[in-house]
Amino acid sequence: MKKEMIFSGFGGQGALTIGKFIAQAAMEEGKNVSWMPSYGPEMRGGTANVFVVVSDDPIASPLVDHPHLLVALNQPSLDKFGPGVLSNGLIIVNSDMCPNVTKRDDVEYVISPLNTIANDIGSMKILNMICIGIIIAKTGLIKFDTIESTLKAYMGDKDPALLEMNMKAIKKGMTT
Structural domain spans, the chain: 2-174
Q: Does domain 2-174 have CATH number 2.40.128.50?
A: no
Task: Return d(Cα 142, Cα 113) in angstroms, integer.
Answer: 23
Categorize the per-residue pLDDT at 38 as very low, low, confident or very high, splitting at 50, 70 and 90.
Answer: confident
pLDDT higher than 80, residue 41: no
**Nearest 5°: phi and psi at 81?**
-100, -20
Task: Return d(Cα 87, Cα 107) in angstroms, integer.
Answer: 6
Can you give the pLDDT at residue 45? 63
Q: For residues 52 and 61, which has the higher predicted lDDT (pLDDT)?
A: 52
Categorize the per-residue pLDDT at 42 as very low, low, confident or very high, splitting at 50, 70 and 90.
Answer: low
Which one-letter DSSP state was computed for residue 85? S
Categorize the per-residue pLDDT at 157 as very low, low, confident or very high, splitting at 50, 70 and 90.
Answer: confident
Task: Return d(Cα 10, Cα 21) in angstroms, integer.
Answer: 18
> How many CB atoms within 10 Å of residue 145?
10
Can you give the pLDDT at residue 137? 98
pLDDT higher than 60, residue 89: yes
Can you give the pLDDT at residue 123? 93
Q: pLDDT tens-digit profile of 43-59?
A: 566 779 999 999 999 99
Evaluate the CA torsion angle 25, 22, 60, 69 in order and state its sign.
positive
8 Å CB contact between 73 and 97: yes
Average pLDDT, the chain: 93
Task: End-to-end CA distance of the chain: give it in Å, rounded.
Answer: 25
Task: Return d(Cα 118, Cα 166) in angstroms, integer.
Answer: 10
pLDDT higher than 60, residue 144: yes
8 Å CB contact between 114 and 131: yes
Task: Return d(Cα 49, Cα 18) in angstroms, integer.
Answer: 10
Task: Return d(Cα 53, Cα 26) in angstroms, integer.
Answer: 10
Q: Which of 20-24, 28-32, 41-45, 108-112 has the lowest mean pLDDT?
A: 41-45
pLDDT higher than 90, residue 68: yes
Evaluate the CA torsion angle 154, 156, 158, 164 in order and state its sign.
positive
